[in-house]
Amino acid sequence: MQTPSATPTVLVLGANGRLGAAALQAFTAAGWQVWAQARRRPEALPHGATHLAIDALDVQGLAGAARGARAVVHALNPLYTRWQAEAMPLLHAGLDTARRLNATFMLPGNVYNFGASMPALLDAHTPQQATTRKGRIRVAMETELRSRAAQGQRSVIIRAGDFFGGGSGTWFDQVIIRSLRRGKLVYPGPLDRAHAWAYLPDLAQAFVAAASHDDLPPFADLGFAGHTLTGAELFAAIEHAAAALGGAPAAGFKHARVPWPLIRLASTLLPMWREIAEMAYLWRTPHSIDGSALQRALGPLPATPLDAALRRVLAGVVAPRAQPSVQAAFVKHP
């Protein structure tokens, strides 16, 4: 890894994505110079960030433009229906760019690797027994990082649960709170199963902290604990935050479930629904992420209390009333 300069520099691949946008804000706030790779200029490009309208597969172009970068954040995430064709080529290009820059490659990990029989607590030693196509792709991605680390290329995985906060396009905003202004909450699974969540601004801070450490091993697999909640606990927390913002209905919220049988039926005709249906087990299988290794490696990190995080997320949904409602669509999932 390069010798730290007075102003450290990072390349964020996929700056218009949810994690990419959060990373832009976190790194610039920490005083980093940021190269923001994206096809179109980010709408909220912070001071200290420079847009690079260079294709993510253009290794030579990116390495030349981002010369001096100490870290490369791989925030690229193909649509669910394009994972098979695009995930590995994008990963290889990102790794090759980081190698040319002599920079640490940083990958947001998830829980797909562990499969439908995953244990309740996940850490770096949990066997990766993927049971879906996307899970097997994720295993292959991390295997590539381990292989390159053996050859001297540094990489860090920060593994987190489902995102909330930091923009639209997640299960949280596209499904759970989609109908909040109409007095309804929708959950994708049984309400008594623990599920791992990551508040994006906090997760982005973890990436900044990891990029700032020169003493990590060549391959580091660090879990981001985030918030672990059952569906019932999440509903209660959302209702409390909405009430504090004046957005709770007088009669209380109605609760509904995602119609998985209908989704499976339609998945024979709709490719996106087929991809979504394959991952339904994530809402049935209790799981949480052990964050102790990350804490040991990086020290104490910002951890926004759940109520404060939810109030920030819901503020733009419940008030002002003139704002449009959240779009009703299943979209890509980290």
The alpha-carbon radius of gyration of the chain (Å, integer) is 20
Residue 104 lies in a domain: yes
Residue 5 confidence (pLDDT): 52
Residue 154 lies in a domain: yes
Residue 319 confidence (pLDDT): 64
Residue 30 lies in a domain: yes
Query: Amino acid identity of 116?
Result: A
| Residue spans of the chain under pLDDT 50 | 1-4, 320-334
Residue 279 lies in a domain: no
**CA 75 – CA 72 distance, rounded (Å):** 9
Angle value at C-alpha 31, between 30 and 37, nearest 5 degrees: 90
Range of the domain at 73: 9-162+198-226+287-304
| Close Cβ partners of 280 (under 8 Å, ≥ 6 residues apart) | 188, 189, 260, 263
Residue 252 lies in a domain: no
- The three-class DSSP label of residue 257 is strand
Residue 313 lies in a domain: no
Cα dist. 324→154, 267, 268, 314 in Å?
44, 29, 32, 13
Residue 316 confidence (pLDDT): 84
Residue 38 lies in a domain: yes
- Tokens 């049988």 belong to 261
Cα dist. 160→4, 171, 201, 290, 325 in Å?
27, 14, 12, 10, 27
| Close Cβ partners of 320 (under 8 Å, ≥ 6 residues apart) | none
Residue 211 lies in a domain: yes
CATH number at residue 41: 3.40.50.720
Residue 318 confidence (pLDDT): 84
- Tokens 């995430």 belong to 77
- Burial letters 122-153, b for 16+ CB under 10 A, else e: beeebebebebebbbbbbebbebbeebbeeeb
Give the CA count within 13 Å in the CB-facing half-sphere of 265: 4
- Tokens 């990190």 belong to 301
Q: Domain count of the chain? A: 1
Structure tokens at 330: 């299943």
Residue 106 confidence (pLDDT): 98
**CA 68 – CA 98 distance, rounded (Å):** 11
Listed in sequence order, the DSSP H helices in 169-249 are: 171, 200-211, 231-244
- Tokens 């890894």 belong to 1
Residue 200 confidence (pLDDT): 97
Q: Taking Cα atoms as reference points, which of 153, 80, 68 lies closest to residue 110?
A: 80
